């Protein structure tokens, strides 16, 4: 079929955010065709210095800021604030994740910006919300993992102590929530012509994300049923002879298939394991019985045997093995991109596929790389731009 335009083509997004939640939300919009302008202070985004890096381009920064254009403004200077305000008047979306009140002090708060541009979708990400006892507190992913119950919901399998996932999961699920909220606000604007202020708290996003299963014992209020073991209490990989596999067999036909492959079909008649609920209640006993049977198999023999029996299963890929996973290779999830100053880098394609549109994967900007171009497009003269560079209002490189 003929190619169609990018879903968000023609939209301009100003990304004033830093670290991960806001930048990643903006990167998703860039994946889908928006012109995203990354606005940093002279010190640069914190992620530029996190993890492996070449110069001021870290792996994390590149991944979370792919496809954007870069502009560096010293927003402590009044001239820089005026430049930002002028850009907002031409923008469709503004994303920021500063603590409550900071953007207001810079003259870039939601009330002022929506008055200047009534069609603007202004997105604010906070750690705990715009007000309340913890509104002004600093928040990072680990803090939200703790406060949201996520750490307690992932106890250590032996000690039962809460664990912090070695992934910025709360930042990333907040980014997903934010990107969806922005597109919803844009749909609403198409109906009524109005922009609006959208707010996403990391704490709220993390709690909502867990609710369907990790918090199912907190759902019923009036005459709650007897509590079940918490979801996933026995959900751990199984050790094979040479690695690990994960399986899930909630349906009876899947559970029966698992038992046949492992050579113990008689366990299907054991009342302890007769239903999904009884298997959850008796998961320690089931694991004790099945662990030695998994250990007799080689991973690459067991996974296809389970698949043939209709049992969902997958090998546990290490990070390096992930790059060679045949389905991921087929899906072309990862693309090689030439990143100026860093050589070739691997970046993910946008996971959503749009019929007729092939999402490009573009590199991240160097600090201030596109500043003069962005300001020329906004109508500023070369003489004015040069003066701002001299004054340190605008920085290039």
Question: What pLDDT does 260 receive?
Answer: 98
How far apart CA 150 and CA 231 sit, in angstroms, is 12
**What is the pLDDT at residue 1?**
42
Helices (H) and strands (E) in the chain, counts: 16, 14
Q: Determine what percent of the chain falls in helix, strand and coil, rounding each to the nearest 5.
A: 40, 15, 45
Residue 358: the pLDDT is 85
pLDDT on residue 349: 93
pLDDT of residue 152: 94
C-alpha distances out from residue 146 to 73, 141, 159, 249, Å: 34, 9, 17, 30
Rounded CA gap, 128 and 135, in Å? Answer: 5
The β-bridge partners of 123 are 95, 198
Give the strand pairing for 93-96 and 121-126: parallel
Residue 98 vs residues 19, 21, 71, 136: alpha-carbon distances, Å: 11, 11, 18, 10
Q: Given this model, what pLDDT does residue 232 score?
A: 80
Residue of 47, 38, 41 lying closest to 14 (CA atoms): 38
H or E stretch including 84?
helix 78-88
pLDDT of residue 234: 77
Judge contact between 347 and 356, C-beta under 8 A: no
d(CA 32, CA 73): 26
Beta strands 334-339 and 343-348: pairing type? antiparallel
User: Cα-flanking dihedrals φ and ψ of residue 395, to 5°?
Assistant: -120, 140
Q: Quote the pLDDT of residue 3.
A: 57
Ranges of each domain in the chain: 12-210+333-395, 254-315
Question: What pLDDT, on the 0 to 100 scale, is given for residue 221?
Answer: 96
Catalytic residue set: 171
Positions in the chain short of pLDDT 50: 1
CA distances from 263 to 268, 287, 318, 335 (A): 11, 15, 28, 42
Task: Give the CATH fold of the 12-210+333-395 domain.
Answer: Rossmann fold (3.40.50)
């Amino acid at each position: 079929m003929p190619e169609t335009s990018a879903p968000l083509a023609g939209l301009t997004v100003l990304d004033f955010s830093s670290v991960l939640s806001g930048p990643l939300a903006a990167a998703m919009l860039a994946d889908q065709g928006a012109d995203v302008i990354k606005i940093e202070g002279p010190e640069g985004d914190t992620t530029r210095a996190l993890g492996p890096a070449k110069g001021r381009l870290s792996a994390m920064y590149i991944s979370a800021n792919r496809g954007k254009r870069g502009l560096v403004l010293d927003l402590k200077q009044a001239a820089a604030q005026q430049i930002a305000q002028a850009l907002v008047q031409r923008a469709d979306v503004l994303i920021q994740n500063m603590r409550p009140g900071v953007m207001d002090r810079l003259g870039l708060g939601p009330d002022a910006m929506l008055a200047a541009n009534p069609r603007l979708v202004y997105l604010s990400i906070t750690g705990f919300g715009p007000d309340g006892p913890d509104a002004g507190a600093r928040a990072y992913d680990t803090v939200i993992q703790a406060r949201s119950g996520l750490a307690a919901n992932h106890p250590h399998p032996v000690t039962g102590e809460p664990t912090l996932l070695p992934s910025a999961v709360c930042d990333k699920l907040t980014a997903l929530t934010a990107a969806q909220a922005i597109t919803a606000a844009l749909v609403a604007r198409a109906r009524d012509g109005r922009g609006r202020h959208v707010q996403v708290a990391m704490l709220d996003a993390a709690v909502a994300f867990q609710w369907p299963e990790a918090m199912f014992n907190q759902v019923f209020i009036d005459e709650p049923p007897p509590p079940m073991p918490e979801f996933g209490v026995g959900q751990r990989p199984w050790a094979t002879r040479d690695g690990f596999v994960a399986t899930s067999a909630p349906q009876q036909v899947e559970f029966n298939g698992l038992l046949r492959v492992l050579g113990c079909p008689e366990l299907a008649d054991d009342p302890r394991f007769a239903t999904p609920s009884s298997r959850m209640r008796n998961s320690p006993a089931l694991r004790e019985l099945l662990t030695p049977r998994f250990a007799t198999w080689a991973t690459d023999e067991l996974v296809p045997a389970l698949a043939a029996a209709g049992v969902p299963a997958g090998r546990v890929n290490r990070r390096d093995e992930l790059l060679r996973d045949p389905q991921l290779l087929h899906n072309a999830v990862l693309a090689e991109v030439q990143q100026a100053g860093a050589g070739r880098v691997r970046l993910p394609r946008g996971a959503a596929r749009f019929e007729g549109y092939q999402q490009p994967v573009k590199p991240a900007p160097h600090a201030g790389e596109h500043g003069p171009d962005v300001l020329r497009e906004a109508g500023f003269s070369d003489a004015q731009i040069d003066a701002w560079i001299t004054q340190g209002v605008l920085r290039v490189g």
